């Protein structure tokens, strides 16, 4: 087991969270940021910020803070977001369309280069971003030809495994799955499942716990 594999997943997620305000500090020419300020903006405590960063080395000066530009550069290097990543998406319903047109992906170094749908009737439709929807049968050839790094699945649940199999054939090693089903994958592929209903149930649980016995309106 490598040192990197021992790092808790929540720490990696928080590093990505820290990069958002750091980017704002850099853009506003704010050179130094304290762990207290970074923690406040990210909804964690300062000790957690320092602990997360300590996994990767020594950052900042005690009593002074962190160099915002340097820390942002290091976090991007750690996360692998210091380069561009190309993405293809399978499933061009409302969610798929929303993701492709979200400019925040481009700002963070993720570029959509291909869009597919399992419904052949959508093939040829031109999207506002300039991409044309392609039939899913094109995935293996097109994804290999474009050298796509990552795949996103936004199909209905019943079609998610089929979409994943096509991406596996194209040698995609990382998939973000938005369908409400767990996709079976070979060991060589990493799948991150984003089940929005689970997030909602987590939210409802905390609301119920917080306001138990109290009227919600």
pLDDT tens for each residue of 45-81: 999 999 999 999 989 888 889 999 999 999 999 999 9
- pLDDT tens digit sequence for 3-50: 455 889 999 999 999 999 999 999 999 999 999 999 999 999 999 999
4-79 and 85-198: same fold? no
Indicate the domain borders of the chain: 4-79, 85-198
Q: Which helix (H) or strand (E) holds 192?
A: strand 190-193
Running DSSP on this structure, what letter comes out for residue 138?
G
pLDDT category at 199 given cuts 50, 70, 90 is: confident
- Domain 85-198 falls under CATH 1.20.1250.20: no
Q: Please state the rounded mean pLDDT for residues 160-186.
A: 94
Looking at domain 4-79, its CATH architecture is Orthogonal Bundle (1.10)
pLDDT of residue 196: 85
Q: What is the DSSP letter of 136?
A: G
């Amino acid at each position: 087991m490598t040192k990197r594999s021992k790092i808790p997943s929540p720490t990696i997620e928080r590093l990505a969270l820290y990069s958002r305000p750091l980017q704002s500090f850099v853009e506003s020419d704010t050179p130094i940021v304290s762990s207290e300020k970074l923690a406040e903006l990210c909804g964690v405590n300062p000790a957690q910020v320092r602990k997360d960063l300590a996994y990767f080395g020594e950052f900042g000066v005690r009593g002074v803070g962190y160099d915002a530009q340097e820390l942002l550069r290091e976090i991007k290097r750690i996360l692998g977001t210091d380069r561009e990543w190309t993405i293809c998406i399978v499933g061009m319903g409302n969610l798929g369309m929303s993701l492709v047109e979200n400019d925040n992906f481009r700002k963070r170094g993720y570029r959509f280069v291909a869009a597919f749908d399992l419904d052949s009737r959508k093939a040829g439709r031109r999207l506002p971003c300039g991409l044309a929807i392609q039939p899913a049968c094109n995935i293996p050839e097109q994804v290999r030809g474009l050298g796509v790094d990552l795949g996103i699945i936004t199909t209905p649940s019943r079609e998610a495994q089929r979409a994943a199999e096509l991406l596996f054939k194209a040698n995609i090693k990382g998939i973000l799955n938005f369908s409400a089903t767990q996709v079976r994958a070979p060991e060589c592929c990493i799948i991150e499942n984003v089940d929005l209903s689970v997030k909602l149930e987590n939210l409802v649980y905390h609301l119920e716990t917080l306001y138990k016995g109290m009227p919600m309106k």
